[in-house]
Amino acid sequence: MRFIIGLPIAAIITIGLFLLMRFLISGDIELGEKADSVRFDINPKVQELEVRQREAKPERSKDVKPPPPPPAIEKQKAVQPNEGIASVTGSIPDFEPPNLNRGNINFQVSDRDAQPLVRIEPIYPPRAQEAGREGTCKATFDVSADGKPYNVAVTCTSSMFTRAATRAVEKWKYNPKIVDGKAVARRGVITDFTFQFSD
């Protein structure tokens, strides 16, 4: 039913469109003037310019005369002497060697006592420093033939200073005692220490 009704309507619309298009085409349409055509060259040719080159001729160099060679110097030849040196300067005189009596010379070193080389002062004990303690120590020790202290005995007014004084003496170094040119041990060396605050 819809198809039968829609068919005449579609035919009317089609004919109306056809007549409208014909009317539009049949009208006179004035075209404007012909536009100038524009041309683009993809690979334009470049005009080559002629470059004039000026011919420069180098100036002719002047002839330079080389300097004359240095004059030849005659080398003098050394002449070997025919006479001996002894006859020219005189012969060396003969001397009698001195008579040295080596038996009377004595190189023995004189006797000496033990002498300190390195003496390190004891460190103030921190515990005694905090407590405000002062005191004195007396160290008695022996010095070996190598110059090292041994048999160290320390007596102090407070036991806080004994260890510090003993360690200091053990680090000392001595020139050993010399008797008849030989190093021997030195006994009974006494040294006093004082532990007090500096003003």
Is the residue at 148 inside a domain? Answer: yes
pLDDT confidence bin for 109, thresholds 50/70/90: low
37-52 residue pLDDT tens: 656 566 656 566 666 6
Is the residue at 109 inside a domain? Answer: no
120-155 residue pLDDT tens: 899 999 999 898 899 999 999 999 999 999 999 999
Is the residue at 16 inside a domain? Answer: no
* Number of domains into which the chain is organized: 1
Is the residue at 4 inside a domain? Answer: no
pLDDT at 175 over 70: yes
pLDDT of 156 reads 94
pLDDT confidence bin for 105, thresholds 50/70/90: low
53-100 residue pLDDT tens: 666 666 666 677 778 888 877 777 777 766 665 555 555 667 677 666
Is the residue at 189 inside a domain? Answer: yes
Is the residue at 77 inside a domain? Answer: no
pLDDT confidence bin for 34, thresholds 50/70/90: low
Residue 169: which domain range?
115-195
Would you mind telling me the total number of residues written for the chain in this entry?
Answer: 199
**Residue 178 is part of a domain; what is its CATH number?**
3.30.2420.10
Is the residue at 93 inside a domain? Answer: no
Contacts of 124 (CB under 8 A, 6+ apart): 164, 195
Residue from 198, 192, 196 nearest 125 by CA: 196
Most confident of 4-18, 35-49, 73-87, 160-174: 160-174
pLDDT of 141 reads 94
Is the residue at 143 inside a domain? Answer: yes
Average pLDDT score over residue span 165-178: 91
